[in-house]
Amino acid sequence: MGIFFSWNELAEVTGGEWLIAPGADSSVAGVTSVFDDSRAVVPGALFVATVGELTDGHRYLAQALDAQAAAVCLERAPDEALLQRMRSAGIPCLQVSHGLAAFQRLAQAHRQKFPELLELAVTGSCGKTSTKELFAAVLEQRWPGRVLKTLGNTNNHYGVPRNLFRLTSETAVAVLEMGSNHPGEIAHLVSLAPPQVGLVCNIGHAHLEFFHDLRGVATEKGALLAGTDENGWAIFPREAEGYDILLEKAGKRRCLTFGSSPDADVRSEYLGLQNGLFRVRLSWRNSCTSREFSWQLGGAHQALNAAAAAAAGTAFGLTPDEIIRGLQNCVLPGQRMEVREIDGITWCNDAYNSNPDSARAALDWFAELSANAEKRVLILGDMRELGGNAEMAHFELLQKARRDFPEARIIAVGALCAKAARSLDIEHFPDTDTAKAALKGAFSSGTWILLKASNGVQLYRFPDC
């Protein structure tokens, strides 16, 4: 494996000072990889100790050394025993003022080593991970085996650098997810790796505790468009709340819009469930081209995601046929519209995350999917980080569930959902453990069950109930 950073580059990029300088006669020219997690360290790597709200990387310095780290980067000098161990082993130790900032600067420098790399950055209030998977599947049609995509939902200040360090000379295209729950975070993340194509997949009711309203969300998400290469593409939903903000953030960049409106550059029309598959029509306004296709993903919201992926593919020069093939080949990760049958009970697990928009979409998807079910159960859990809108949002969600599923058993889980459920006389439990214990053996063969909540509620543990 080649050298990521020479010793001089490490000090120059981070602005750090050597507590233990590399030996002049060292046979090692630098580090071959960079990690901030001691469990991921491999021989030859640099271990960067970052300090977060829940953990402190300095506690795991010994583990990184055990894993044969070639060098370490720290905010605080370690105890004398560890210093002596590093001196004896000839392991350089670099001290910086801020570990996370150093980690990010190194990731930014690594990204800059690949000027020919094509990059798509995506953000949004919900569905970032699903759309990221769609984008990658589409781009694989043109660059098979050479598309790097964000692992899981590693889209924050730690995750984006980790994914940048995965770039190699074999990577043709990177699809990077960028998330935010506080103002200013997107602008910082996109500055680490400005893309040629920036895409906002939606503007919704997520993290309103910090963004206050949808225009605040649009301002934050739109920072991704403002951080996109000036000669690049800005892609965003035509019907979005705060469309004017997104358009302003796009500036003079080439713009593509997507949505269900005839005014969208790429339009999706959801045609429903037909012969066991979901049908969608995509239309490209500028070329007067349409394609109708079947795929595994249900719901009008996924049809919109298909339009977003089609817009991204168009920006990268893919043909409609390539785009459709990619969409049909896409498989979403677990807990995202995951359907599986266990002992005759069909579990529809969409419990990785939840906010008012994605929860309503999940209800619509489940209504269509389970239309012929003998019995239906909706297990709905708390939606986190909604701020002052939380109480009303949960009340309205349960109202919609009761209205759309008058015959179904509705179960609310979590403190926020339970509070709304009490006012509607809906069955409720304070947490998943209590609900699982009470409902053990309660569901019979032929029942279809929807799971929808924020990940912290842990509804994903239900299928073994």
Contacts 24+ apart (CB under 8 A), 426-429: 426/398, 426/402
The counts of H helices and E strands in the chain are 16, 22
Strands 93-95 and 17-20 turn out to be antiparallel
pTM for the model: 0.81
For residues 300 and 201, give the distance between their C-alpha atoms in angstroms, rounded to a whole number: 14
Q: Specify the pLDDT at position 361.
A: 87
CB contact at 8 A, 171 and 110: no
Burial of 29 from C-beta contacts in 10 A (0-12 / 13-18 / 19+): middle
Strands 33-35 and 45-48 turn out to be parallel
Q: Specify the pLDDT at position 1.
A: 61
Closest CA to 196 of 155, 234, 248, 250: 234
Amino acid at 367: A
For residues 63 and 59, give the distance between their C-alpha atoms in angstroms, rounded to a whole number: 9
Element (H, E) at 106: helix 99-111
- Look at the chain and count its residues: 465
CB contact at 8 A, 312 and 128: no
Radius of gyration (Cα) for the chain, nearest Å? 24
CB contact at 8 A, 121 and 228: yes
Q: What is the DSSP secondary-structure string of 42-56?
A: -TTEEEE--B-SS-B
Per-residue pLDDT of the chain (465 residues; tens, 9 = 90+): 678 999 999 999 999 999 999 987 667 889 999 999 999 999 999 999 999 888 899 999 999 999 999 999 999 999 999 999 999 999 999 999 999 999 999 999 999 999 999 999 999 877 667 788 999 999 999 999 999 999 988 999 999 999 999 999 999 999 999 998 788 999 999 999 999 999 999 987 665 566 678 888 899 999 999 999 999 999 999 999 899 999 999 999 999 999 999 999 999 999 988 887 899 999 999 888 999 999 988 888 899 999 999 999 999 999 999 999 999 998 876 556 788 889 899 999 988 788 888 898 899 989 988 988 989 999 999 988 777 778 899 999 999 999 999 999 999 999 899 899 998 999 999 999 999 999 988 899 999 999 999 888 998 888 764
For residues 282 and 163, give the distance between their C-alpha atoms in angstroms, rounded to a whole number: 31
Q: Going by C-beta distance under 8 Å and a sequence separation of 6 or more, which residues neighbour residue 244?
A: none
CB contact at 8 A, 377 and 447: yes
Q: Specify the pLDDT at position 335.
A: 52
Three-class DSSP category at 161: helix
Spell out the domains of the chain, with CATH numbers in brackets. Answer: 5-106 (3.40.1390.10), 114-329 (3.40.1190.10), 338-464 (3.90.190.20)
For residues 315 and 354, give the distance between their C-alpha atoms in angstroms, rounded to a whole number: 30
